[in-house]
Amino acid sequence: MSSYLDQLNAVQRGAVTTVEGPVLVIAGPGSGKTRVLTFRIAHLIEQGIAPWEILALTFTNKAAREMKDRIEKVVGTRAQKVWAGTFHSIFARILRGEADKIGYPSNFTIYDTDDSKSLLRNIIKELNLSKDQYNENAILTRISSAKSNLISPLAYEQNAELMAQDKQTKRPFLHRIYSEYVSRCKRAGAMDFDDLLFQLYVLLHQNPDIADKYRQRFRYLLVDEFQDTNYLQYCIVKKLVVYPNSPQNICVVGDDAQSIYAFRGATIDNILDFKKDFPLLQTFKLEQNYRSTQHIVEAANHVISYNRRQIQKNIWTSKTDGQKIKVVKTQSDQEEAKRIADLIQEQKNRYHFRNADFAVLYRTNAQSRPFEEAMRRLNLPYRVYGNMSFYARKEVKDVLAYLRLIVNQNDDEALRRIINTPRRGIGDATLEKIALLAASKSQTLWQTLPEYQGTAREKNALQNFIAMMKAFITKSLKSNAYEIASYVLKQSTMMDNLKQDTSLEGTGRLENVNALLDAISSFSEEDELTDDIIMPDKSLSTYLQNIALVTDADNSDPNADVVTLMSVHSAKGLEYKSVILSGLEEDLFPSFMSKDTPEGLDEERRLFYVAITRAEEFLTLTYAANRYRHGQMKQCDPSRFLNEIPMESTDSLGGLAPIRRESSAPQTSRVSGNFSRAVTPQTVINPSDFKAAKPEDIEIGHKVLHMKFGEGKVIAIEGAKDNRVATIHFKDLTDQPQRKIMLKFAKLQIQG
């Protein structure tokens, strides 16, 4: 047996070695999901599958890099030839080679959110529409939703329901904005993030030969975090996998209980209904949690049992009970922040933890301010996760805009940004006149610059700008990315201007630009293995594509010894020794925007489940009796989620009672829409008569008694010695009667 397979438990091994046909891996928190994914790919390669015939789709570049690194430890450098990356990066890579089939240049620009908003503002202005009524953020969200549901501008206009919704929200011309936005992007040779998915679907749908090419190319497809996919992503996956005589070699890995991105289009139905599309599906449930202690796992299981639609599973851990979950009530959000900072300091001293062992989580980013103040008070170094990305800083975006325009002269948004940066006498008024002329001729700004008949001063400034850009373009033909970036900074006088500003802010901007140059230099010098289809190079175009798809998660330094402050959404996939979850109040968590619909409340509960399961050893839940919201101090009620945690798993901190509970009431759960279904066993057990058997004496078929769950029957046992785990069916439990229990901690009395 291969050594890497020996590192897997029985269920993990089954998921890794079942390589033919459709496979669904339900991966509970801390259950070794990444190990299964990476070992599965390694196993495919070891079985003789060419690495470039394997496509693995992830949601972060960081996850893809980690995957390749782990595979390389098993199969060597062959791992680098696996097509592993985010949906957007892999699809952008394919589109680079096939863009001409759908009318785009191969060096198309990728617009970020700021570019898209800027373009929308200009369109709204040109159409003489109210910028308040047609807010670019709302419009962009609407367009993104349309693309994610495969609705083109024409289909949008023909959809009576969508048009009625726009009329109701007093945006009857939204379809015109959408149509013009798509037209302008294509004219500029640009795709936004949604286009990387939408246009790939169009490519595959309109070109059956191209679809067949990539179906033959990718014989084995894997999707990580499948519960986070949207309708369009799943449509593309099916395009690649579902076709006549397809072997349907697809493996999706995810956890319906961690589906928390409905607000950006993810649909939990993809994972819940996966078997409908793949009737021959084989399912593996990874239920052993290697991360958290017993109290944390029990709390998470109990909380998620309240949700209606879900794939049934029973997460268990071999770790001891550990510390109970601390529940802390404070009088205000300021006191909450102070108590949390004090708790971190106390745990650091008592358990010799590093700052990096702590995470403070909250439902909304707006809650971070008091925590920052409290951290500074105790000199605790911290990082607010989700702050402005390095690539979102003005000076960095200015340099990148020059580089984008060099690669694609039709990129209107890049030209708008740098035509007067540094100042060269081409003001907003001049640019506005050029833009109107360009719109009248259906041209790009670059095409229109030589035709503009302005003042002698304006024409001279424009001619100098055009000459400078043409020199940059010529230089780029024989230079790598670092050489052209350095040349641009010098010749445009941007570097000189930055050096002249000796203020603290100016020094910071110069440091950011130098850091960008360092990153470009590293890219230009780094060796990379390639495959035989698309040859990555060190050109400026390739560099711009890479950084256009970088996320905050990719930029974070995992070795920085700082306390992490972040939203629960940002914490998904991470783990910490000590997690403090704050703001557990009604209308905050669950959010007032989501709690009034069954689907919304279920998602909020899944978000709470994700937060709980980030903790390895210590979990603290806090709430405030009063909190400043919208400029006013408001009285708060504790979150309903606190009442969904078993009392035996919680403790109070500092003598404060956690929350009001009916002391005589049994613990209840809400499953499939039924309220207050008791999970307390009907069997009455006298503790003085209870005698726990030795773990090694318990065998399959034994009838047993458990102090909490009542009477049960052992139906399966796996593992050996101290790691034996029994699957027991408890007759009194109407909610999830089948439980997995680690025998060395079980305390079971044999009945017969």
- Which residues are part of the catalytic machinery? 33-34, 224-225, 258, 614
Other Cβ atoms closer than 10 A to 598: 12
CA dist 512 and 203 (Å) reads 38
Q: Specify the 3-state DSSP secondary structure of 637.
A: coil
> DSSP states of 34-78 as a string?
HHHHHHHHHHHHHTT--GGGEEEEES-HHHHHHHHHHHHHHHGGG
Sequence-separated (6 or more) residues with CB below 8 Å from residue 477: none
Contact indicator for 299, 592 with CB cutoff of 8 Å: no
CA dist 681 and 42 (Å) reads 46
Question: Does residue 48 come out as left (phi exceeding 0), alpha (psi in the -120 to 50 range) or beta?
Answer: left
Q: Specify the 3-state DSSP secondary structure of 253.
A: strand
The amino acid at 325:
I
305 — phi, psi (to 5°)? -65, -15
DSSP state of 662: -
Contact indicator for 325, 645 with CB cutoff of 8 Å: yes
> DSSP states of 487-545 as a string?
HHHHHTSHHHHHHH--SHHHHHHHHHHHHHHHHHHHHHH------SSS---SSHHHHHH
Q: Which helix (H) or strand (E) holds 109?
A: strand 109-111
Contact indicator for 118, 111 with CB cutoff of 8 Å: no
β-partners of residue 67 are none
- Rounded to 5 degrees, what angle do the CA atoms 403, 406, 408 make? 105
CA dist 303 and 566 (Å) reads 22
CA dist 749 and 739 (Å) reads 16
- CA 639 to chain centroid: 25
> Among 235, 366, 129, which Cα is nearest to 139's?
129
The amino acid at 287:
E
> Among 731, 692, 728, 727, which Cα is nearest to 710's?
731
CA dist 593 and 590 (Å) reads 8
> Among 176, 170, 192, 195, which Cα is nearest to 124's?
176
